[in-house]
Structure 1
Amino acid sequence: MLTSLLKIAWRNIIRSKGFSFINIMGLAIGMASSMLIIMWIYSEVTYEDFHENKDRIYEAWNRASFSGKLQCWNTTPKILARTVEKDLPEVEQAVRVDWTSHFLFSVGDKRITEAGNIVDSNFLQVFTFPLLRGEPQTVLREHNSIVLTRSFSQTLFGNQDPVGQTVKIDNNQDFTVTGILAELPKNTRFEFDYLVPWSYKRSIGDDDSYWGNNSTRTYVELKPNASLASANEKMKVLKPRYQPEDSTWEMFLYPMGKWRLYSSFTDGQEDGGGRIAYVRWFGVIALFILLIACINFMNLSTARSERRAKEVGIRKVVGARKQGLISQFIGESILMSVIAGILALILVTLSLPGFNRLTDKTLQIDYSNPYFWMLFLGFVLFTGLLAGSYPAFFLSSFQPLKALKGVITNVNTLVTPRKMLVILQFTFGIILMICTIIVRQQINYAQQRETGYNKNNLIYHHFTGDIPKNYRLIKSELLSSGAASSVAITSAPITQSWSDGWGQEWEGKDPNDKTDFYRYNEEEDLGETVGLTFVQGRDFDLSQYPTDSTAMIINETALKVMKFDNPIGQIVKDNGEEWHIVGVIKDFILTSPYQPTSPMLIYGAKSWFYTLLIKLNHDRSTAENLKTAEGIFKKYNPEYPFDYQFVDEEYAQKFANEKRTGTLAGLFSALAILISCLGLFGLATYMAESRIKEIGIRKVLGASVVGLTSLLTKDFLKLVIVSFLLAAPLAWWAMHHWLQSYPYHTPIRWEVFVMTGLLSALIAVMTVGFQAIKAALTNPVGSIKNE
């Protein structure tokens, strides 16, 4: 029975090669697109999924009120890990992870700067990254031990056995390699090429007992069956207990399963933002594309109904039952779905390298995994059943006598469901088009937002090696050589904030004010180097004003918070130090271009520095400037590479995530429209077949080709107009909701809807035009001779 059904199905596929090709390719493109999106979604929802105790691992977060709003962040005091192990009976162990370090590694003649983390010795017991050499319990036990990734160990030692080898870090500390890690998977938040034990920080005098400095990430593993609610109740009181001045400050544990997707908070609560919004969005796109492909299949199948009506009539006359006919037609759709699935798998395999580059992932198909083949088969069968169900029931419902005469059913009962399917197709497609355009507009809106400084020809270089003691000499030679027009010594790049706090005092401050200020340090010349605009006062100038070492510059937002009528000369106290305001600058974007500008305080030379900001000389070539600068850095910091970054390139990275999202949305929207056009082509084919006699009569009565083409095309324009009227409000609602997550966002412009509507109409006319013209040119004699 099954063999017979397959043979009949195969004959019908072969008999209509053109129809079958379009049908199979439409399904294949839709299935391939959905599979790529599903793979992307799977990679997102399985972040950190490889850790053995993932369900018991949490990150410590803070929640406190600033400027009347609850804010949440995930940097904590260094002492927190040991405190929760002592005070919370629910805790199995806790581990600290410090900021990423960039150490200089020396092995023989090799000098390599690489990024890694300083962590507690139990890090690899909590986070079970696979160790190729060494034991998790012991590899980080000694303060001078170090664990390397396999690729970094090969960079340092080549094919030698690295375990037991010695590396020198920053030219002053020998470390012994005690373990080798496999390469880190892409689906983890951690990025490091080496791990150094926390005891190393203690050996060089680092203080980790202060509760007032939130500078470390703390991770907690709860005991089996421990209550998270109970642990969080105890977490709430830790900060007030050990630092009473922070009596309203709470801490809480945030589960690992939410780190990647849900770490977005508004007024102290999860707001549904974060990457989960992208996962949901692309999940909807995958569903839309698959539905569009299946609807396309339905339309093309029912477009052939008149050709298959006599076949159905004959089968019913000779005794075929409706159930058997349904099985036959569904069998055909499943067979086509299997062929389309194989093609889709080929398309996915060929597309993966480019897709991975686009999404910054390493997705791959494990063909040896039986679960993959089970899921793939289920996906193919589901698609075949979904696509073939309506055609199967529709075709099997023909009455035998009418079918043998070619009268298959009443036109209205046939056309209405099929037109509804096309409307549904184009509604999905137009929604995707509108949303994609608005996403692109939002990215452009943020990119075009005034930064408040000049990014061009601006680079930065962190302090390494001998730079802290030689930076004034480096600055002097950069200027005298002509490589730079201005140089500033700062605490961080101009695109980042490394410090913030709320404990400042000034005259007239409200006792309940807990505004959080960004802290930024500079020696002098920051305004000239990056092009800041001073609305009051001046920049620091130590040569003319030696007291500028304790001076302060504030931005306009900070001035609004402090409410000074005349800010110049006002005193701000911070951590027992007094700073006098000498200037007010126009707000500039320090962190996210999608967020409002935060109040900012720039402290003078009596503070710490870590970065040189260098304005390259625009009168010389960039290559020449960099070559000169490299020679100067090598002169004063010979053991370290000249490791600089362009500020404009780093600023552009702030848009990378949204750009990838916009590009992906545009790509899949185009594919959805392509498949929708195949559906229109199917309906146009049906139209040409069902109205061929009407067209012939009209031609005999004198109708022109242009008139007939217009007559046939306007029906499809009506469908597109209905689709647009349905899609426009739905797209507006979705994009309005999405844009609300950005304090700075583009307005939704009416031009987007006009452009999308016109484009949709143009696509529809171009798609059906061929069939309409072909039908209008048909010889009327042949079409009406049987009347």
Structure 2
Amino acid sequence: MLALDFKIAVRNIRKNPGFTIINIGGLAIGLASCLILLLYVNYEWSYDKQFKDIDRIYFAKLNLKLGSNTITLEATPNQLAHTAAQEIPGIELATRMSDEENKLFTYQQNKIKLTYSYVDPEFLQVFDYSFLKGDPATALKQPNSVILTASSARKLFGSEEPLGKSLMWDNRKPLTVTAVIADPPKNQSMQFEALQTWAFHDQEYPNEINGGWGSINCSTIFKLKENADFGAADASLRKLIKAHQQDTQMEVFLFPFSKYQLYDEFKNGKLVGGRIDQVRLFFFLAFCVLLIASINYMNLSTARSEKRAREVGVRKVLGSSRKALISQFLMESMLLSFLAMVIAFVLIELTLPYFNHLLEIVLTINYQSPLFWCSIIVLILTTGFLAGCYPAFYLSSFTPIRVLKGFTIAGKGSLSIRRLLVVFQFSLSIVMIVGATIVYSQIQYMKNKPLGFDKNNLVQLNLEGEFANPSKVEVLKAALKKENAIVSASEYAADFTANGGSITGNFSWPGKNKKDDYVINYRTVGYDFVSTIGAKMIEGADFLRLLASDTASGILVNQAAVKMMALQHPVGTPISWGDKKLHIIGVVNDYNNATVRNQAEPTAFYYSPKKSGALLLRLNPSQPLNVAIQTINRISQQLNPAYPSALKYIDEGMEQKIKSEKLLGVLSNIFGSFAIVISCLGLLGLALYMAEQRKREISIRKVLGADLKSILVLLNKDFIKLVLISNLIAIPIAYVLLTKWLQTYDYKVSTGLWPYMLAAGISLTIAILTISMQSFKVAKANPVDALKYE
């Protein structure tokens, strides 16, 4: 029976090549789009899943209560890991991990900057990295040990054996390579090129060893014992700091490491989402595109209902059951689904390199995975059934007498299922058009929104090696100004566009409520900071050489800090920072250098070139950019020969801040366009169906004198109604969804009505063009062809 159904399906597909091409094309585009989106969703979902016992590994998160609000931090107290491992029975292992750092690693003539983190030896017991060389039990035993990834070992040592070799760290201290591990995959949260010991960290930062619970400088990771009670361990950890420091406002809790990448947004101490929202959106988009493609198949199949109706009638007269007919139609849709999947794979292989470049990741299809092939089979069967179920049940329901006497459509007063499907298709497509338009507008708004500083012609140089000496930096500044390469320069705490930074709760000022807790960001800067970054002084003055007396006791604050402190006349206000007595010398405007989506946080700036890690350089606009850059590289190399000059462009750093929004915008544009194309195929299907059903009516009207214009209006008006209904349904839904999305931004575009009017205009235009092609063909047809058998 199945063999017969297969033969009939093949015969019908070959008999109607036009319908077959449109059907398979629509399904292939839908399946290819769906699979690419699902590959990305799976990639994001698989973050950190490669670790063994991932379900027992937890990050410690820190809730810090500030008055009526609570902020959630990844950084935890230095002594949390050791104390928790001793006092909480459910914890098997605890390890610390520092933030990423970037230093120069030197072996003979090879000088390479590597990203690394400091970790405890237990780190290698918590995470089962693949060791290519060395022993994980002893790799971090000695303070000067270093573990390299395979790629970094290759960069430093080439084909030489790296194990046991000595290299120079930061051109100051020797390290011994004790192990080489496989490169961490891209879908792993912790990315590094080297691992160093926490004992070495203590040598570099001795002041943090006995910093108490206020020394918040690391991430803490726990591995619970097998069958340990998570609730009990979490409750004990939440009480831990309070047990050691009664007046603390800190509370630490366990957070599953498997959720670290996707669930990263907290509000008032509670998890509210994160990247998982975007992943869900892409999964929903994949489902919508596939659903639109399946609906398109339904419409195209039922468009041929009159021709297939006689076939059904004859087969029923000859004894076929409805079950057998349903089986035949489903077989046909399954076969089309299979052929569409084959074409979809070709499309995926052709387009995947483009998407990998766009997403800056490596999406691959594992053809050797049994799970993959099982998923593909399920997808083919699901798509085939989803696309073919309605035509199968609809066509098989025809009664022989009715179809053999003459097939007629339902009355005009009833809105057929085919029309409902077209409305549903276009509603989804219009939502996608509105979404793509508003996402694009938001991206452009964030790109062009004034940041409060001038990112153009601003570059950054790391202060390392000889430039760790402030006097050497002054020589560099003077030389660059003499060469007219720069117009100003200033030190800064760290990477200017990096997220995060130092915070303190020890600021006091006149009028501060002692019951309230406030956290203020603080950054070290040098002379001429405000003018170098191109910000604006609201009141007072910048740190200037002419006012060197202000540098020891003066601080700058931004407008957000003034608002938080509720200061009417901030300049001259005395500020206490622990035991230090300071005063405000100036107020700088709120500028956004760490984020473009949220408002600037309260920040204080104090003069301290010695504690700064970066030098900001304002390039001379009268010189060509390449000449200025070459001059900076040449002079910095002369003054600091052991370190390769590596300039960072601030505008490029700011561009990375909207990376996720750009990704969302590009994908919504691409797959939204695919959805429109597929929806138009569905509309074409309905137009073919209506033309088939009304060809006798149109022919009679032409015989009675109807002109081309009136016939086109007659054929098109019903379809225009469907598209208008789709707009009425889609626009409110799009408004609700996108308003909710925009609420996640402090700075958001004001859209007005134009995105919705644009979507309505695009959908109507495309619909009219699509159906007019078929309507014009019917209207121009010779009426004799339709009436000669009457």
Q: Quick check: 1:634–1:641 contact (8 Å CA) kept in 2?
A: yes
Shift of 1:412: 5.1
Please list, as runs of the form range in 1=range in 2, the aligned pairs for 1:332-347 lying within 5 A after superposition: 332-347=332-347
Of 498-507 and 436-445, more deviation after overlay is shown by: 436-445
Determine the structure 2 residue equivalent to 1:219: 221
Deviation at 1:10, TM superposition (A): 0.3
Deviation for aligned residue 1:628? 0.9
For 2:289, the aligned partner's letter is: I
Please give the per-residue CA displacement for 1:115-168, whole angstroms capped at 9, x wherever unaligned: 111111122221222222223222111112111111111111112222122211
Separation (CA, whole Å) in 2 of partners of 1:308 and 1:205: 81
Partner of 2:659: 656
Contact 2:551 2:606 in 1 (8 A): no
In the aligned structure 1, how far is the partner of 2:509 from the partner of 2:385? 71
Q: Distance in 1 between the 2:252 and 2:526 partners?
A: 36
Report the residue type matching 2:666 in the other structure: T
Indicate conservation of the 8 Å contact 1:523/1:549, yes or no.
Answer: no
CA distance in 1, matches of 2:778, 2:71: 66
Q: 2:260 is paired with a residue of what secondary structure?
A: helix
Q: How far apart are residue 415 of structure 1 and its match?
A: 6.3
**1:356 equivalent in structure 2:** 356
Which residue matches 1:69?
A: 69
C-alpha distance in structure 1 between counterparts of 2:321 and 2:69, whole Å: 69
Match status 1:250 vs 2:257: no
Deviation by residue 1:753-784 (Cα, 9 ceiling, x = unmatched): 11111111001001111000000000112212
Match of 2:520 in 1: 517
How is 1:669-708 mapped onto 2 (pairs within 5 angstroms)?
669-708=672-711
3-state SS, counterpart of residue 138 of structure 1: coil
| Secondary structure of the corresponding residue to residue 355 of structure 1 | helix
Counterpart residue type for residue 605 of structure 1: S
How many Å apart are 1:408 and its aligned residue? 5.1
| Counterparts of 2:752 and 2:474, CA distance in 1 | 52
> Residue type matched to 1:576 in 2?
D
Going from structure 1 to structure 2, the CA distance change for 1:707 and 1:558 (only over 3 Å counts) comes to same
Structure 1, gaps ≥5 residues long: none
Work out whether residues 493 and 613 of structure 1, in 8 Å CA contact, stay in contact via their aligned partners in 2. Answer: no
| Secondary structure of 1:712 counterpart | helix
Give the letter for the 1:254 counterpart. Answer: F
1:189-208 equivalences under 5 Å are 189-204=189-204, 206=206, 207-208=208-209
Alpha-carbon distance in structure 2 between the residues aligned to 1:524 and 1:239: 40
Q: Is the 8 A contact 1:122 1:136 kept in 2?
A: no
On the 8 A contact 2:468/2:610 being kept in 1, the answer is: no
Alpha carbons of 1:624 and 1:105: their partners in 2 closer, same or farther (altered >3 Å)?
Answer: same
For residues 277-305 of structure 1, what are the alpha-carbon distances to aligned partners after superposition, in whole Å with 9 as ceiling and x for unaligned?
Answer: 11111121111111110100000001111
Q: Aligned runs of 1:124-523 on 2, under 5 Å?
A: 124-204=124-204, 206=206, 207-210=208-211, 211-246=213-248, 248-271=249-272, 273-407=273-407, 410-411=410-411, 416-469=416-469, 470-496=472-498, 497-523=500-526
How far apart, in 2, do the equivalents of 1:264 and 1:59 lie?
14
- Give the alignment's TM-score, normalised by structure 2: 0.97
Q: Which residue of 2 aligns with 1:16?
A: 16
Q: Structure 2: how far apart are the matches of 1:557 and 1:295? A: 53
Partner in structure 2 of residue 592 of structure 1? 595
Deviating more after overlay: 403-412 vs 275-284: 403-412
- Name the aligned partner's letter for residue 398 of structure 1: F
Worse overlay, 3-12 or 543-552: 543-552
Alpha-carbon spacing, 1:24–1:707, altered in 2? closer, same or farther (3 Å)? same
- Contact 2:330-2:385 at 8 Å conserved across structures: yes
Give 2:722's aligned residue: 719
CA distance in 2, matches of 1:297, 1:329: 12
Q: Give 1:758's match in structure 2, choosing from 756, 761, 764.
A: 761
Please report how far the alpha carbon of residue 315 of structure 1 lies from its aligned counterpart in structure 2 after TM superposition: 0.9
CA distance in 2, matches of 1:607, 1:536: 27
Helix, strand or coil at the partner of 1:366: coil
Aligned to 1:57: 57
User: For 1:123 and 1:62, how far apart are their aligned partners in 2?
Assistant: 20
CA positional deviation for 1:3 = 1.4
Give the counterpart of 1:561 among 558, 561, 564: 564
User: Which of 533, 536, 545 is 2:536 aligned to?
Assistant: 533
Does structure 1 residue 744 correspond to structure 2 residue 747?
Answer: yes
- Kept in 2, the 8 Å contact 1:398–1:408? The answer is no
- Per the TM alignment, residue 718 of structure 1 is displaced from its structure 2 partner at its CA by 0.3
Matches of 1:414 and 1:392, distance apart in 2 = 21
Contact 2:525–2:609 (8 Å) recurs in 1: no
Q: Given residue 270 of structure 1, which amino acid in structure 2 is its aligned partner? A: L
Cα distance in 2 between the residues matched to 1:471 and 1:94: 41
> Hey, what's the Cα distance between the residues in 1 that align with 2:344 and 2:115?
40
Shift of 1:746: 2.4
> Alpha-carbon deviations, 1:323-351, whole Å to 9, x = none?
11111111100011111111112212222
How many residues end up aligned between the 2 structures? 785
Q: Hey, what's the Cα distance between the residues in 1 that align with 2:222 and 2:664?
A: 33
Tell me the amino acid that sits aligned with residue 737 of structure 1. K
User: What SS class does the counterpart of residue 416 from structure 2 fall into?
Assistant: helix
Aligned AA (1:342)? V
**Equivalent-residue separation in structure 2 for 1:415 and 1:18 (angstroms):** 27
Distance 2:659 2:756 in 1: 26
- Residue 776 of structure 1 corresponds to 779
Q: Structure 2: which amino acid aligns with 1:687?
A: M
The one-letter amino acid paired with 2:268 is D
Q: Is the 8 A contact 1:399 1:408 kept in 2?
A: no
What root-mean-square deviation, in Å, do the aligned CA atoms of Structure 1 and Structure 2 show? Answer: 1.6
1:196 is paired with a residue of what secondary structure? Answer: strand
Deviation at 1:428, TM superposition (A): 0.9
Q: How far does residue 492 in structure 1 lie from its aligned partner after superposition?
A: 2.3
Partners of 1:456 and 1:409 in 2: CA distance: 66
Partner Cα distance (2:454, 2:586) in 1: 19
Offset of residue 544 of structure 1: 3.5
CA–CA separation in structure 2 for the residues paired with 1:655 and 1:205: 34
Distance 1:663 1:277 in 2: 17
The equivalent of 2:628 in structure 1 is 625
Structure 2, gaps ≥5 residues long: none
Q: Provide closer, same or farther for how the CA distance between residues 330 and 606 of structure 1 changes in structure 2, counting only shifts above 3 A.
A: closer
**Contact 1:103 1:115 (C-alpha < 8 Å) held by counterparts:** yes
2:718 and 2:609 map into 1 onto residues whose CA distance is: 76
Percent identity, aligned pairs only, is: 37
CA distance in 1, matches of 2:131, 2:518: 45
> Offset of 1:606 from its aligned partner?
7.7
Deviations 1:426-454 (A, max 9, x none): 11111111122122222222223321111
How far did 1:405 drift? 3.4
Instruction: Tell me how far apart the structure 2 counterparts of residues 239 and 607 of structure 1 sit (CA, whole Å).
Output: 33
The 3-state SS of whatever aligns with 2:64 is strand
Distance 1:482 1:68 in 2: 52
TM-score, normalization by structure 1 = 0.97
Over 3 Å counting, the alpha-carbon distance change for 1:205 and 1:696 in structure 2 is closer
How much has 1:609 moved relative to structure 2? 1.1
SS at match of 2:611: coil
User: CA shift at 1:607, angstroms?
Assistant: 6.6
